[in-house]
Amino acid sequence: MDKKKVLKSGEFLVAEVEPEDIFIPEEFNEEQKMITQTCRDFLDAEVYPNLEETEKGNRELMKSILKKAGELGLMGISVPEEYGGFEQSFVTQMLVAEITGAGYSFSVAYMAHCGIGTLPVVYYGNENQRQHYVTKLATGELLGAYCLTEPGAGSDANSGKTNARLSEDGKHYVINGQKMWITNAGFADTLIVFAKIDTDRVLSAFIIETKFPGVVIGPDEHKMGIKGSSTAQIYFNDVKVPVENLLGKRGEGFRIALSILHMGRIKLGANVLGAAKKTITDSVKYANERKQFGVLISSFGAIKHKLAEQVIRLFASESAVYRVSKDIDNMIGKLKEGCGDTGRATIEAISHYAVEAAMLKVLGSEMLDFVADEAVQIHGGMGYSAEMDVEKGYRDSRINRIFEGTNEINRLLVVDTAMKRAMKGDFDLFGKAEILFNGVDKISGGEVKGENYFAEKTRYIDNFKKVILLCIHGAVKQFEKGLMNEQEVLNNIADMMMEIYVSESLSLRVAKLDTLKENISVYKDILDVNVYDAAEVVRKSAYDAVYSFADDEKAAVLIRAIDDLTKIRGINVKNSRRRIADRLIEDNYYKF
C-alpha cells in the first residue's frame, strides 16, 4: 500500500494493509504515557473515593469533581491551544477516553462535557463563540451538555418538535420545546440545543445558557445504571437566545448532530476499553482470592476460559480502536492542508470514518457487556451484591448499547454507509464483488504449502472478505433498492464486517509486535482463538444471508464457496485460552 495513501472509510473490505501502516498501543510515546498516569491518578484521588456518594445522585459532588478535572487540564485535551486547550492528537484523545472509561458515572459526565458539550462549538462555532465559550469549557469554568433527543424523537432526530422563531426586532430566537435524557442537565451552564426555525424541515443548532430565563431543568431520572450521572429533562419556555448564538448556519443542525454522533460513537469505542480493563482486573483479583473445594477458583478450567475470553475480546477491540484513531489523525492532517481550520478538519475526518465509528461503537459496547456479565459470574453470589464494583459495572455497561444511536441503528449504518461510499467511487467494492460472484464456482480457499504464520492469517482474513463481497453482490442483485428493508440480511453483513475488521486489526497488531522483538507467544494465542471463532461467525452469518436471498440451486453453489473460504486449520483452543488466562492470573492485573 502507498505509504502516503490515507485508507478511506470501509475500504478495508478491498484494501491490502501492512503492519507498518497501522498504529498499535505499544507505540504510545512518553507524553501519552504521562497523560495516562495523570488520568489514573485523578481517578484514584477524586473519583473512586467518592463512588458511593456520587451513586446517590449528588449533583454538586459530581460537579465539583468535574471542576477539579478542569483545573488539572483534563478538559482541554481535544481543544486547540488558542482556546486554552492542549490540542492533542486524536490518538491521544482516544487514549484519555479509554483511561477515564474506568471511572463509572464520572466517565459519562466527563465525556459528555468534553465531547458533545464542548466540541460542537470548537468544530462549528465562529471565532466569537469559540473565544466566549470554548475558553471557559476547556478549563471547567463552564460545564456543558447536549440536547438532541425529545420524547417523540429518538433515533429519528430530525422529527423533533422544538421550535425557534425570530423575534420582531431580529435580535433573538425565541425557543420553545422539551428535551430528554440530557447528560449533565443538573449542573450544566451551557447547552447545545437543536430546534427548527419557523417552518424549516431541518434542524438548526443553538448555544443556550441555562441561566437564560425560561430554561427549566427537571429532576434527575432514576436509572438502571450510571446513577452518579445527572440525567434530566430540560424545558424551554419562550427562551430568548441572542441571534449570535446560532451555531453554524441555519439548517446546518442535522449535519452537526450527525457529525457529533460519529464522534461520540468512536470515542465510546475507546471509553469502554477502560471500563473493561478495570472489570477484568477485578475479575482476576477475585479469582485469585476466592477458594472453593480448598483451592483458588482461578485454577479451574471453566474460570480460566472466562478470564481468557474477556482478554481476547478486549485486546481485539483495542487493536481496532487505535488502528482507526491513527487513520483519523492522518486524515485530519490531509484535510487541514486544504482548509487550514483544525476544528473543521477534525470533525470532517471523524465523519469520514463513519463506517468504523459505527462498528467500534457496536463492538465495544457488546464487548464490555460480555466482560461485565462474565465478571459478575466469576464473582458468583458476591457479584450480585451492591458492595462490589462489578455489580455497578454490570449496570453501567448496559447503556452503551443505546448511547449514541442504538446498536440496531448502527449495524444498519455500517453496511449502508460502506455501500454509499463505494457508490460514490471511494473504493471499488461492487466491481470486485461482481467478478467474484460470477466466478463463484471456481473459488478456492487457496491453502498455500509452507506459508508462514502471519501469511496464513492474512489469507484467512482475505477469504473472509471474499465471503462478504459474495453476500453483498447476491443481496443487491436480489433485493436491489429494497435491500434497505431487509434489515436481517444487513445485520448478517454488518456482523461479518465487524468481525473481520477486528480480526484484521488484531492480526496486524500482533505482526507488528513481532517486528518490535516482543515475546509474542501469548498474543499469537489471542489471535489464534480470535480467528478460529471469527471463521464460525462469518460462516453462520453468510449462511443466514445466502438462504435469505438465493434460490436452492444458487444457494448450494454459494454455500460450497463459503465453506471453502471459511475453512481454517484447527487449533487447541483449550490450551490457548489456558495460556492467556495463566498470564493474567500471574500478573493479577490486566497488563496485555
**Hey, which residues are catalytic here?**
404
Tell me which H or E stretch contains 175: strand 172-183
- Do 194 and 241 touch, CB atoms closer than 8 A? no
- The long-range contacts involving 433-439, CB below 8 angstroms and separated by at least 24 positions, are 433/469, 433/470, 433/472, 433/473, 434/473, 436/466, 436/469, 436/470, 436/473, 437/469, 437/470, 437/473, 437/474, 437/477
User: Count of alpha carbons within 13 Å of 262, Cβ hemisphere only?
Assistant: 24
Would you state the cell numbers that stand for residue 553, as one nine-digit string? 440451486
Helix (H, G, I), strand (E, B) or coil at 406: coil
**Grid cell listed for 35:** 497523560
Residue 558, C-alpha cell as written in the block: 454459494
In the three-class reduction of DSSP (H, G, I as helix; E, B as strand; rest coil), residue 236 is classed as strand
DSSP 217: E
Q: Which residues contact 515 (CB under 8 A, 6 or more apart)?
A: 19, 20
Region class of 238: left (phi > 0), else alpha (psi between -120 and 50), else beta: left
Q: Which of 477, 504, 493, 588 has the alpha carbon at shortest distance from 543? A: 493
- CA 126/CA 134 separation, integer angstroms: 11
Which set of grid coordinates corresponds to residue 131?
A: 473565544
Question: In the beta sheet, which residues pair with residue 176?
Answer: 163
- Helix (H) / strand (E) element for 524: namely helix 521-549
Q: Is 487 helix (H, G, I), strand (E, B) or coil?
A: helix
Concatenating the DSSP letter of every residue in 88-114 gives: --HHHHHHHHHHHGGGTHHHHHHHHHH
Q: How many residues does the chain have?
A: 592
Tell me the three cell numbers of residue 355.
463506517
CA dihedral 54, 59, 61, 62 (to 10 degrees): 70
Q: Which of 247, 254, 301 is nearest to 117 (CA)?
A: 247
Within a 10 A sphere around the Cβ of 165, how many other Cβ atoms?
A: 16
Cβ-proximal residues to 209 (8 Å cutoff; 6+ apart), any chain = 189, 190, 191, 215
Q: Provide the sign of the torsion angle of the four alpha carbons 566, 570, 574, 580, taken in this order.
A: negative
Q: Sort strands 190-197 and 144-147 into parallel, antiparallel or unpaired.
A: parallel
The DSSP element (H or E) to which 371 belongs, if any, is: helix 354-379
